[in-house]
Copies of this chain bind each other. A is one copy, B any other.
Amino acid sequence: MYSSSLTTKLNIMYPIIQAGMAGGITTPELVSAVSNAGGLGSIGAGYMTPENLRTSIQRTKERTNKPFAVNLFVPNEVSASEQTIKKAAEQLQPFYESLGVHLDELPTTFQQPFEEQVTVILDEQVPIVSFTFGIPPQETINKLKKEGILLIGTATTVDEAIAQEDVGIDAVVAQGSEAGGHRGTFSSPFEQALIGTMSLVPQVVDHVSIPVIAAGGMMDARGIMAARALGAQAAQLGTAFLTCLESGTKSVYQEAILTSSETDTTITRVFSGKPARGLANTFIRDMQKNKTEVAPYPIQNTLTNKMRREASKQNNMELMSLWAGQGTRMSKKGTVATFIQDVVEQYEQLAEKNSF
């Protein structure tokens, strides 16, 4: 497979980045396996306390001496009246009850302390940090860069990519509309920022001079080669790693992905208050059918947290968030090492076969 100025900077063999999916997916086993296989593993730290992030980093380091990244959620302003929160919580009660649990107390904190997460990253000398949901404060950027940490931003439009370059971010993920999980959109209505990877990547490449990483819809060597043709220096894959044995993905969730088709996902705010792509299930359908009001992100996320965790414990797919991209028919079950090896081999065969 090819190398690029970005793979050189990241010090990785293959231009394959495992997306920093939050919510227990990116176990130390997954992240280290990706890095050990020549890609870039990423700890999805969005929902981690600083303590848990530290533990996760340390456990990953025990398993690899290769570089890996931590992905952080740039904090968003939290604003909702107590009444809104109360109402949103009430409307979730039937779902909670169907699981035999209750949402007893209304939470009062909704996001992890970002600067403390950054401190852990500095302490632990993690070489690469990626961000989504916005641009971190300039001070934070400067502090991380001063320590030689490479910063990767997330953009869903050309303007968002330009904004990243302007503040000194080193590389930018162009997240196409195919991508699973949360949209990184931070400066447009999200509907306007649903640009397919095929057209987003070259347009971003044309308007920034930092390396561009393609994300959205790529599941194998064909997608990675296409990303390269479009001008991306690497590809970020999320869904493809969900069905790897080392991931923290629950079996029912993995099975749902492995048996789903490209038309089974939808973009919804019902789980977190922020639009995200995942497999449609009862929770999404009921909330949409009843036109239930959803609290803004990250409040809704906190309100559904216990429901999702309990549903997961009970293997109840219908009330879990089953984030996935549009390429699920290409999903395969297996180890990370086999996945990456297969991709590399498929890539070499394609490169030989295709006379471009």
Contact = CB atoms under 8 A, between A and B. Distances in A.
Interface of A: 2, 157-159, 176-178, 188, 191-200, 202-203, 206-207, 216-220, 222-223, 225-231, 261-264, 266, 325-327, 329-330, 347, 350-351, 354-356
Contact of A262 (B203, B326, B354): B203
Nearest to A191: B266
Contacts of A200: 262, 326
13 contacts: A159-B261, A159-B263, A176-B198, A177-B194, A188-B263, A192-B266, A195-B326, A196-B216, A197-B197, A198-B226, A222-B231, A226-B229, A226-B230
A354 B229 contact: yes
Count identical subunits in the complex: 2
B202 A176 contact: no
A330 B218 contact: no
Nearest to A327: B199
Contacts of A327: 198-199, 202-203
A60 to B, nearest CB: 29
Given A228-B356, A229-B225, A178 B202 contact: no
Given A226-B226, A330-B206, A354-B356, A158 B198 contact: no
Contact of A229 (B158, B219, B350): B350
Given A2-B355, A202-B220, 8 more contacts: A157-B262, A176-B196, A198-B226, A199-B330, A206-B330, A223-B230, A226-B230, A347-B356
Nearest to A223: B198
A327 to B, nearest CB: 4
Contact of A178 (B2, B198, B263, B347): B198
